[in-house]
Amino acid sequence: MKLLLILLPLMSFASSDYYPWDWFSDPVIMAQDLRRNFRELPLEGNVISGEKFWSGDYWPLKRGNINYRWHSPRRTGFNLRSPTREEAQRMTQAELSHLSPSEKYDLYTGRYDYPLKHEVERISANPRAETWEGICHGWAPATMNHNEPTPKGATNPEGIVIPFGSADIKALISWYYANGFISPTHQMGRRCYGEGSEDECREDMNAGAFHIVLTNKIALRNEGIIVDLKHGGEVWNHPLMSYQSEFIKWSGKKRDSAPGTVRRAKIKTMVRVLNGTGNYWGPIRATSAQKEFTEKYVYYLDLNASHEIIGGDWDSEDRPDFLWVKYRPQEFTGILSRLGELLNDEK
C-alpha cells in the first residue's frame, strides 16, 4: 500500500562528534542517551504493546478522507447530505451506522451544522488527489499511542445513540494526529523526492545511525518507531514493531570509513512493520484482517576500538528513507476535544 506522509517539522536536532553521518541522520535527534556499544545492543527486539499497534485505513483523500461513508451500501465521501436534528431522531441504528466518521462525531457532539465534516471537506477531501494520498501520517502515530478502539454507542445531547464502529474511531484519531494538534516530533533522515541523481538519497539515512536507533528504541526501550521503508519519491510509512538481526562477518575499515574505525561488522536485519488494511466494525488485532510484513536490510557498521558504532553504510539497495515519532497529546483540544470519550485508553 502506498501511503502518504506529510513531512512534519523537525522539532529536535543537534550536531554530533560521531561521523560520517550528517546532522539530520544523527541518533541524538531521537534521544539523547542512546547506547552505541555494539556488544550491548541486542540482535533482536519486539515491542510489547498490549492493545496498541492495530492495522487501519489510510483514508484516501480521493475517497473523501474521513467523510467517506465506508459502512454504507452506497459508499461515498463527497456531496454528503447530512441529517438534520429531526431526521437524525427518526433514523434507525442501522441508518445512523451508515454515516461517515466525521458525521457521526458531529452528531455525537450535537453539532447539526457539521463542523468537522466541513473542515475535512476544506483541508483533506480531494477527488483529484493521487490514489495513494491519505492520512497514514496520522494513523501511524495513533496506532502506536492508543489502544485499538472498539465499537460504541454514544448518546448525544438529544438522547440519540450514535453507533461508532472501530473503524470510525480509528478514522477520527488518525485525522486528529494528522491535522488536529502539534506535538514534539522527532525525525531522523530526510525524505528523498526522487529528483536529480539517485546518489543524493543513498546515504541520507546512515546505516550505523539506523542500527543505534532501531536497537535502542525497540529492544532496550520498548518503544515503536515509524519508518519510511524505501528511499525514493514515494513514501511507504509504517510503524516498526520488531526486528531480528544477524551478524554475517567482520571486515577491515575502508578508505571512507568513519574516522577511528578499526573494523566493520556486516549485518542483516529483518524488520517487521504494521501495514494498512480495510475498514471493519469490530477490532481486528489477532485476526486475519491485521496486516504485517517484513523488510530486509543489509549494511555495515563502523566500530572503533571500544566497539562503539561510529558510522556505517548500506550494502542492500533497499534502505529506510527516514524514521520519526510523534508523541501522544496530553489532552484533546479543538474540534475533536471530546474524542477521548470514545477511546479505550488507560486512565
DSSP 117-141: HHHHHHHT--TTS-TT-S-HHHHHH
Reported as a single tens digit per residue, the pLDDT across 265-313 is: 999 999 999 999 999 999 999 899 999 999 999 999 999 999 999 999 9
CA 326 to chain CA centroid, Å, is 8
Under 8 Å between Cβ of 178 and 137: yes
Domain boundary among 155, 183, 211: 183
- Examine residue 342 and state whether it is found in any structural domain, yes or no: no
Angstrom distance (rounded) from CA 240 to CA 231: 16
Phi-psi region of 307 (alpha: psi -120 to 50; beta: other; left: phi over 0): left
Our CA angle for 254, 255, 258, nearest 5°, is 75
Domain boundary among 159, 183, 207: 183
- Examine residue 120 and state whether it is found in any structural domain, yes or no: yes
Query: Which sign does the torsion angle of CA 94, 97, 98, 99 carry?
Result: positive
Residue 156: per-residue pLDDT? 98
Under 8 Å between Cβ of 50 and 215: no
Instruction: For residue 243, list its beta bridge partners.
Output: 45, 271
| Domains in the chain, number | 2
Mean pLDDT by 10 residues, the chain (347 residues): 40 43 88 95 94 95 98 96 98 98 98 98 95 91 96 98 98 94 82 55 81 97 90 77 97 92 98 95 95 96 97 90 91 95 87
Residue 193: per-residue pLDDT? 64
Residue 5: per-residue pLDDT? 41
> What is the chain's length?
347
Is 131 in the same domain as 162?
yes
Reported as a single tens digit per residue, the pLDDT across 236-245 is: 789 999 999 9
- Examine residue 311 and state whether it is found in any structural domain, yes or no: yes
By C-alpha distance, which of 72, 74, 71, 242 is closest to 170?
71
- Examine residue 338 and state whether it is found in any structural domain, yes or no: no
- Examine residue 30 and state whether it is found in any structural domain, yes or no: yes
- Examine residue 83 and state whether it is found in any structural domain, yes or no: yes
- Examine residue 17 and state whether it is found in any structural domain, yes or no: no
Is 112 in the same domain as 165?
yes
Is 223 in the same domain as 280?
yes
Is 72 in the same domain as 132?
yes
Residue 185: per-residue pLDDT? 83
By C-alpha distance, which of 186, 213, 183 is closest to 320?
213
Domain range enclosing 233: 23-50+185-326
Residue 319: per-residue pLDDT? 86
Residue type, 264: R
Whole-prediction pTM: 0.89
Residue 232: per-residue pLDDT? 63
By C-alpha distance, which of 10, 1, 329 is closest to 136?
1
Reported as a single tens digit per residue, the pLDDT across 62-87 is: 999 999 999 999 999 999 999 999 99
Is 156 in the same domain as 289?
no
Residue 9: per-residue pLDDT? 38
